[in-house]
């Protein structure tokens, strides 16, 4: 039973990662929401935006 749950969790994680990659391909998500840095790395879940490493620490 534990292996089945683990497999389901892994598949869900893969689907979530693919959704994030699809969102990052959109032109409006190719730069940090807070600054002009390109290729944001983090997701700000409270306001649902992508932000760079520097802004994520603020």
Q: What domains lie within the chain, and their CATH numbers? A: 2-56 (1.10.220.150)
Any idea which residue has 């391909």 for tokens? 25
DSSP letter at 55? Answer: H
Give the mean pLDDT of the chain.
90
- Looking at residue 5, its pLDDT comes to 84
Any idea which residue has 């994680």 for tokens? 13
H or E segment to which residue 3 belongs: helix 2-24
Tokens found for residue 26: 């959109």
DSSP letter at 25? Answer: T
23-46 residue pLDDT tens: 999 999 999 999 999 989 898 888
Tokens found for residue 20: 């994030």
């Amino acid at each position: 039973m534990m292996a089945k749950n683990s497999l389901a969790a892994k598949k869900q994680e893969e689907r979530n990662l693919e959704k994030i990659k699809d969102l990052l391909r959109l032109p409006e998500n190719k730069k940090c929401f807070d600054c002009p840095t390109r290729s944001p790395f983090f997701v700000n879940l409270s306001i649902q935006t992508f932000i760079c490493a520097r802004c994520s620490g603020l």
